[in-house]
Structure 1
Amino acid sequence: MIAIELLLFTLVLSIDSFSAAIALGLRHFSARRAFFFALSSGLSEGLAIALGFLLGHFAQSLITQYDHWLAFALLVLVGGHMCYRACMDMKSRGDRGDEVKVHGLLKILFVSSVTSIDSLGVGISLGLVNKPIALYSLVVGIGAFAATYSGLFLAKKLSSRFGEKIEFMGGAVLIALGIKMLSI
């Protein structure tokens, strides 16, 4: 029974990592940067569950009242910025030639952290029902790592097929993730 529960938690909590990887992966990613992004997503998800577990004992009502609003605002800002940059890149396409665009490490860390906010709430819930938090943190973290790599691979295929216009769609995905956070 716990195996099915772990699988379901992992799938649900890794969807945001997968979606964010598709959104950010539309720009070039080196193998090293892809590994860093997958690792930061996995660690963020796993640590968010553990942190939620600990915070659940101290400030459950405060955290759960505002976490979805924070995630919404941050994802909409990052997604909006990506859409803006995509529009500006399309307008000035001829000015820059074949310049390779990449996301910075801070942006990758930021997105990994923001997409893990829902795991914080899950960690609070798991703490309240005394689940084995180390096991959940580890399995969900591994799932987020794998989901991020899968999303980056898919994004590479999409961007080579559809070109730079797809980056605008990536920003829209992050905005949609932010809106989804309001329903949590």
Structure 2
Amino acid sequence: MNAYLSMDPAVYTGQFLAILVMALALGLDAFSLGVGIGIRGIRLLHIMKISFIVGMFHILMPLMGMFTGNYVSTLLGNIATLCGGLLLVILGSHMVYSTFHTGQMEPIDHHTFLGLMVLGLSVSVDSFSVGLSLGLFHADILLTMMLFGLCGGLMAAGGLWLGRHFNGLLGDYGEAVGGLILILFGIKFLWI
């Protein structure tokens, strides 16, 4: 910790801004997932629960990545991004399918513990690979955890809230629109 106290303010400011930009970029996944879920209709209590879980995953995943180290960053960086994209495509496809095939398939329930964990993991798995990279540069762990968690949680809440207000406009097809949003973001990560 003493190394950070004696760090040049310009270097610390540069590190802060770089980590903030990464946190915001990774928070876009949480925002898009939030819009997709919120369009289906969601209560304020569930917005708080999902936002908290997403924020916690945005703390834990980069922290695990930072501790994992340099030697596996190349291998897991691509795999983690692919897994995150694949999870988003699967969740989105499930939402679209359940819109048109009611009664045959239950949508993924964000009210359950397992559902919350899948949602949190799906938007934060690529934070692990970013954590690996930040570990190489000896980034400030506490700063990284705080910014990633705060951005992930707040952006998830913003997306859920925004989606909730669009719910009445889209009617029964809101879930399909939300699913398409997730599929598009998932394809974006699979394409990279």
Task: With the length of structure 1 as denominator, give the TM-score of the two structures.
Answer: 0.86
Residue equivalent to 1:146: 154
Residue equivalent to 2:124: 116
Q: Which runs of 4+ in 1 moved over 6 A?
A: none
Residue equivalent to 2:190: 182
- Once residues 5 and 153 of structure 1 are traced to their aligned partners in structure 2, the CA distance between those partners, rounded to angstroms, is 27
Q: How many residues align?
A: 174
- Once residues 60 and 10 of structure 1 are traced to their aligned partners in structure 2, the CA distance between those partners, rounded to angstroms, is 18
- Once residues 122 and 69 of structure 2 are traced to their aligned partners in structure 1, the CA distance between those partners, rounded to angstroms, is 19
- Once residues 120 and 110 of structure 2 are traced to their aligned partners in structure 1, the CA distance between those partners, rounded to angstroms, is 13
1:27 aligns with 2:34: no
Residue equivalent to 1:78: 91
Residue equivalent to 1:95: none
Mapping of 1:33-182 within 5 angstroms? Answer: 33-57=46-70, 59-89=72-102, 103-105=110-112, 106-182=114-190
8 A Cα contact 2:65 2:130, kept in partner: yes
- Structure 2: runs of 5+ lacking an equivalent: 1-13
Deviation at 1:57, TM superposition (A): 4.1
Deviation at 1:66, TM superposition (A): 1.7
Deviation at 1:102, TM superposition (A): 6.2
Bigger drift between 70-79 and 140-149 goes to 70-79
**SS in structure 1 at match of 2:138:** coil
1:10 aligns with 2:23: yes
8 A Cα contact 2:84 2:125, kept in partner: yes
Deviation at 1:161, TM superposition (A): 1.8
Task: With the length of structure 2 as denominator, give the TM-score of the two structures.
Answer: 0.82
- Determine what percentage of the aligned residue pairs are the same residue: 28
Deviation at 1:156, TM superposition (A): 1.0
- Once residues 15 and 33 of structure 2 are traced to their aligned partners in structure 1, the CA distance between those partners, rounded to angstroms, is 28
Report the residue type matching 1:81 in the other structure: H
- Once residues 152 and 74 of structure 2 are traced to their aligned partners in structure 1, the CA distance between those partners, rounded to angstroms, is 26
RMSD: 1.9
Deviation at 1:166, TM superposition (A): 1.9
Residue equivalent to 1:96: none
**SS in structure 2 at match of 1:63:** helix
Report the residue type matching 1:18 in the other structure: F
- Once residues 120 and 109 of structure 2 are traced to their aligned partners in structure 1, the CA distance between those partners, rounded to angstroms, is 16
CA deviations over 1:148-168 (Å, ceiling 9, x no partner) = 111111001111122121210
Bigger drift between 4-13 and 146-155 goes to 4-13
- Once residues 166 and 75 of structure 1 are traced to their aligned partners in structure 2, the CA distance between those partners, rounded to angstroms, is 17
